[in-house]
């Protein structure tokens, strides 16, 4: 049985947030006739509260590299990049270089703010171009680095590929759990658990969180805000859960943190995202937050931003403003 069939039988989906079927992506690239193919292990993780890939690079780098090698063996005439954010590159490059040895895997330091981890941006970075997103289609699987088919999966996905090849995959995934809780960390648990189940199994939830608490699920900037009564749903996106206590951090302070993150993350390519975030910050800094103006900004960002960063910004703000008294 080849690895793509094993990935399909395991029903593995990408762990970077989009949850695209891994076997389907690998099969698409395998089927393309090309003189060269590229593989990228994306370790650009950088959203607040998302830390599982860093945990795997620290504690299981050999398994991650094993997953990349399996991809190299699957795609003829291929070459791989291990693309790391600045912190991970500085912390782990020596250990990773020893594991890589003479294999055709190049360590690459991320360039260009948070958005440098978006799949088309990292293709631009590896080509030594300005770090901004490309039009899609074509998608990287069709025409990625230097126009060649490019497989891009994140660190956890390659870890799971190796586990599947070994016959050691048990339909688990890694969850980042943080915030105003007694037991923060990164935990391996069954996939498709609800948020409440993850909090209970990690000893971070009694019968129910008190009313002063609320949860952000998916990521510490892009994730949706949920009340204690809304936690009976699967953990979305990159598997991150952040718990806030309104008695410890005000919703306004939280929105200011999000705005500061998005100002740093922004590539400045498109007006709706760039100017929309600036206007949100301006209102928050002046303590003059106007819902009508905010709704207009959210509409523009959702419908006219060039990439998913700007399109996704309204979700945390809207859900917070609707559910938690500011």
pLDDT in tens, 75-114: 999 999 999 999 999 999 999 999 999 999 999 999 988 8
Averaged pLDDT of the chain? 94
Which has more pLDDT, 78 or 17?
A: 78
pTM above 0.85?
Answer: yes
pLDDT above 90: residue 210: no
The pLDDT of residue 18 is 77
pLDDT above 80: residue 207: no
- 3-class secondary structure for the chain? CCHHHHHHHHCCECCCCCCCEHHHHHHHHHHCCCCCEEEEEEECCCCCCCCHHHHHHHHCHHHHHHHHHHHHHHCCCEEEEEEECHHHHHHHHHHHHHHHCCCCEEEEECCCCHHHHCHHHHHHHHCCCCCCCCCCCCCHHHHCHHHCCEEEEEHHHHHHHHHHHHCCCCCEEEEEEEECCCCCEEEEEECCCEHHHHHHHCCCCCCCCCCCEEEEECCCCCCEEECHHHCCCECCCCCEEEEEECCCCCHHHHHHHHHHHHHHHCCCCCHHHHHHHHHHHHHHHCCCCCHHHHHHHHHHHHHHCCCHHHHHCHHHHHHHHHHCCC
Q: What are the tens digits of pLDDT across the range 255-291?
A: 999 999 999 988 888 999 999 999 999 999 999 999 9
Least confident piece of the model among 11-25, 40-54, 220-234: 11-25
Share of the chain above pLDDT 70, in %: 99
Where are the domains positioned within the chain? 3-166, 172-245, 251-323
The pLDDT of residue 325 is 77
pLDDT above 70: residue 208: no
Average pLDDT (309-326) is 92
Architecture of the structural domain at 172-245? Roll (3.10)
The pLDDT of residue 16 is 83
Q: What are the tens digits of pLDDT across the range 104-161?
A: 999 999 998 888 899 999 999 999 999 999 999 999 999 999 999 999 999 999 999 9
The pLDDT of residue 215 is 96
The pLDDT of residue 57 is 98
What homologous superfamily does CATH list for 3-166? NADH-ubiquinone oxidoreductase 51kDa subunit (3.40.50.11540)
């Amino acid at each position: 049985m080849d690895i793509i069939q094993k990935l399909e039988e395991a029903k593995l989906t990408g762990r970077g947030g989009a949850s695209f079927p891994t076997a389907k992506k690998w099969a698409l690239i395998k089927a393309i006739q090309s003189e060269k193919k590229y593989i990228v292990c994306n370790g650009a993780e950088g959203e607040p509260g998302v830390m599982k890939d860093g945990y795997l690079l620290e504690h299981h780098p050999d398994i991650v590299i094993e997953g990349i090698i399996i991809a190299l063996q699957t795609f003829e005439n291929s070459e791989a990049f291990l693309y790391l954010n600045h912190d991970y590159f500085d912390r782990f490059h020596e250990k990773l270089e020893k594991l890589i040895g003479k294999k055709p895997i190049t360590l690459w330091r991320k360039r260009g703010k948070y958005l440098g981890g978006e799949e088309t941006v990292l293709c631009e970075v590896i080509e030594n171009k300005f770090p901004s997103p490309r039009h899609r289609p074509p998608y990287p699987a069709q025409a990625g680095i230097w126009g060649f088919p490019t497989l891009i999966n994140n660190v956890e996905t390659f870890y799971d590929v190796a586990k599947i090849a070994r016959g050691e995959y048990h339909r688990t995934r890694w969850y980042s759990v943080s915030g105003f809780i007694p037991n923060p960390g990164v935990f391996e648990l069954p996939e498709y658990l609800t948020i409440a189940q993850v909090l209970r199994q990690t000893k971070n939830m009694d019968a129910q969180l008190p009313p002063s608490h609320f949860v952000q699920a998916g990521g510490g900037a892009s994730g949706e805000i949920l009340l204690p009564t809304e936690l009976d749903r699967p953990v979305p996106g990159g598997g991150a859960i952040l718990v806030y206590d309104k008695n410890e951090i005000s919703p306004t302070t939280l929105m200011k943190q999000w705005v500061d993150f998005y100002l740093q993350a922004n590539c400045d390519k498109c007006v709706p995202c760039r100017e929309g975030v600036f206007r949100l910050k301006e209102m928050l800094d002046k303590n003059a937050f106007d819902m009508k103006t905010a709704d207009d900004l959210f509409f523009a960002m959702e419908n006219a931003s060039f990439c998913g960063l700007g399109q996704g910004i309204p979700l945390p703000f809207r859900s917070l403003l609707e559910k938690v008294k500011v």
